Chains A and B, each alone.
Chain A
Amino acid sequence: MSEGSAISIQELVVDYGTRRALGPVSFDVAPREVFALLGPNGGGKTTLFRVLTTAFPATGGRAEIRGHDVMRAPDAVRRELGVVFQSPSLDAKLSVRENLWHAGHLYGLSGRALATRIDEVLALVTLSDRGADTVEHLSGGQRRRVELAKGLLHRPALLLLDEPSTGLDPGARRDLWRQLLELRDQTGVTILLTTHILDEAERCDRVGILDRGRLVALDSPAALKRSIRGEVVTVEGDEPVTLRERILARFGGEATVLHNSIRIERPDGAAFVAELMRAFPDDIRAVTVGQPTLEDVFIHVTGRGLWETEQAAAQEGSA
């Protein structure tokens, strides 16, 4: 166990009946860090989230929040955590202030101290003028910000957010992120969030990629992208599967077919494109060369695209 970690996870395992949903997974999150768990739905990130919030028991291993074991000392853990669930936890029939007032009581705040604190968190999420509004009359983005305010009421050392920008339009998502990062800078709170949105993971200090219950990569977004040497060449053709085989036969290396196009990692993308065009002038419709993205990292470590993995998970779920 590393001393002083905000979160410390060792060999954590969660089974749902006979099915292994998570693990074994080990990693640490440092204080003040903004940490993303990236992965497809069904990859295990919500399961890990539930264990960290003391909402679900782990099957094996350990998870500690600021030195408190989530299984043995859930009450101590709960006091350290501000939690924003994916599903809305606000009472839609009550006003914003009433929601925060009840939440404050659940965390042992009351009276004038609570009233002052409610003013502060509402200002923090720029909703000072909406306190009296009934939650059901707020927009999705505003509700999300109230959830955030609610999670911050008791000045938690750690903020855990499950898919925080679900249902938000791009503008609202940007606002939420600006506020999260400001919050970290101002209060020193540690933030762990789950996401399947690449753009969101890009903004974090470190990203852990969870796939099929395993942590398959863990580093800063920049380092993760550097792990893919060179550039990513994407080739579009009429028959991507046969074209891939022909490219491999000619140039060797590795190539994957994804979204009906062929994806190839090369140290020198531009030079490779020239060779490629000379070799298969009639079979290629379009070629692009790009810097690796986190999606490329995901494909690199799992052999599959994030989106395709989600589709498969959705089909499995509905079957």
Chain B
Amino acid sequence: MSGVWLPAWTLLVRELTHFVRQRHRILGTIGTPLVFWVLIGSGLSGSFKPASMGPGSASHGMSYLEYFFPGTLVLILLFTAVFSTISIIEDRRAGFLQAVLVAPVPRSAVVLGKVLGGTAVAVLQGIMVLGLGPLGGIHLTIGSALLALVVVMITAFQLTSLGFLIAWRMETTTGFHAIMNLFLIPLWLLSGALFPASGASPWLKTVMMVNPLSYAMGALRAALYPAQSVADLCVPPFGLSMAVTVAATAALFGAGVVMARRTSWAHS
């Protein structure tokens, strides 16, 4: 078995090259969420009064623009993950993937390269948007920004792994869009990106509790507000959030490797 890193690295570089050459992609992956942020954030600011964030709690007075900011960041990671993994379908149709799969490269390297490539692009965009945090009223320190960056990296890796899992067996990009709308967007909606679990109905609360993305969302909020208690932020403890996020990421990536090994293309 030849090395994993050289082929994985080369696939990652290819992904970044594509990103740099197709700058219009940024419009889709950053532009849309940012427009959502400004429009929804400003529009709902007057009516946003979450139950747990009442008078006396440290987060009282948080505008919706501010509340929605971490949600927007995760939406950008989701969009980027989808954009980069949807290219697997194109690579397969065009023939590029075929050539990769008959090269003496372990399947794990193919998955790793593709997922790291998507992650790198997502993190780059995440950093750009994180820099806009103060506009939404978030006070960034070096510590909180770095911690948030770590969460962004893991979340990006998780979402790209999930995208890979969906895209690998998919024959058309249309199918991917359907899954995006029916599964991925709801996953994000119910992660605490738009509203905290505290005010939601019991069944919704349960769904949000079992949604792994809620923990990535929680970790990001906790990282951005180091001075506040997780109870005030209405998110799970930071340690728990990180543990669930890392575990879900590992499980999704592992599933991607197993699937890539099992398909008819792969019998090594």
Q: Taking beta carbons and an 8 Å cutoff, which residues of A are in contact with B?
A: 53-57, 71, 74-75, 78-79, 81, 83, 85, 87-94, 98, 101-103, 105-108, 110, 150
A-B contact count (CB 8 A): 76
Tell me whether B102 and A53 are in contact (CB under 8 A).
yes
Tell me whether B103 and A107 are in contact (CB under 8 A).
yes
Tell me whether A56 and B264 are in contact (CB under 8 A).
yes
Residues of B within 8 A of A87 (CB): 94-95, 98
Tell me whether A108 and B95 are in contact (CB under 8 A).
no
Report the 6 A-B pairs with minimum CB-CB distance, sorted nearest first.
A89-B99, A105-B10, A87-B95, A106-B103, A78-B104, A89-B95
Among A57, A83, A102, A110, which residue has the most Cβ atoms of chain B within 10 A?
A102
The interface size of chain B toward A, counting residues with CB under 8 Å, comes to: 29
Nearest chain A residue, comparing its CB with the CB of B103: A106
Residues of A within 8 A of B13 (CB): 102
Q: Taking beta carbons and an 8 Å cutoff, which residues of B are in contact with A?
A: 1-3, 6-7, 9-11, 13-14, 17-18, 21-22, 94-96, 98-105, 264-265, 267-268
Q: How far is the CA of A103 from the CA of B94 in the complex (A)?
A: 16
Q: How far is the CA of A75 from the CA of B105 in the complex (A)?
A: 8
Partner of B94, one of A88, A102, A110: A88
Query: If the complex has contacts A57-B264, A78-B103, are A93 and B96 also in contact, measured as CB distance less than 8 A?
Result: no
Q: How far is the CA of A87 from the CA of B18 in the complex (A)?
A: 21
Q: How far is the CA of A103 from the CA of B100 in the complex (A)?
A: 8
Q: How far is the CA of A57 from the CA of B102 in the complex (A)?
A: 12
Tell me whether B96 and A91 are in contact (CB under 8 A).
yes
Partner of B3, one of A90, A103, A108: A108
B12 CB → nearest A CB, Å: 11
Tell me whether A55 and B104 are in contact (CB under 8 A).
no
Tell me whether A75 and B268 are in contact (CB under 8 A).
yes
Query: If the complex has contacts A55-B265, A93-B18, A102-B14, are A75 and B102 also in contact, measured as CB distance less than 8 A?
Result: no
Tell me whether A88 and B101 are in contact (CB under 8 A).
no
Tell me whether B14 and A106 are in contact (CB under 8 A).
no
- Give the dominant DSSP class at A's interface: loop
Partner of B96, one of A54, A89, A108: A89
Tell me whether A75 and B1 are in contact (CB under 8 A).
yes
Tell me whether B102 and A78 are in contact (CB under 8 A).
yes
Nearest chain A residue, comparing its CB with the CB of B268: A74
Partner of A54, one of B21, B22, B267: B267
Residues of A within 8 A of B268 (CB): 54, 74-75
Q: How far is the CA of A102 from the CA of B101 in the complex (A)?
A: 13
Q: How far is the CA of A91 from the CA of B11 in the complex (A)?
A: 12
Could you pull out 11 A-B pairs where Cβ atoms are within 8 angstroms?
A: A57-B267, A74-B268, A75-B268, A89-B96, A89-B98, A91-B96, A93-B17, A94-B14, A102-B13, A106-B105, A108-B2
Nearest chain B residue, comparing its CB with the CB of A150: B99
Partner of B95, one of A54, A85, A107: A85
A109 CB → nearest B CB, Å: 9
Residues of B within 8 A of A53 (CB): 102
Tell me whether B102 and A108 are in contact (CB under 8 A).
no
Query: If the complex has contacts A106-B10, A106-B105, are A74 and B2 also in contact, measured as CB distance less than 8 A?
Result: no
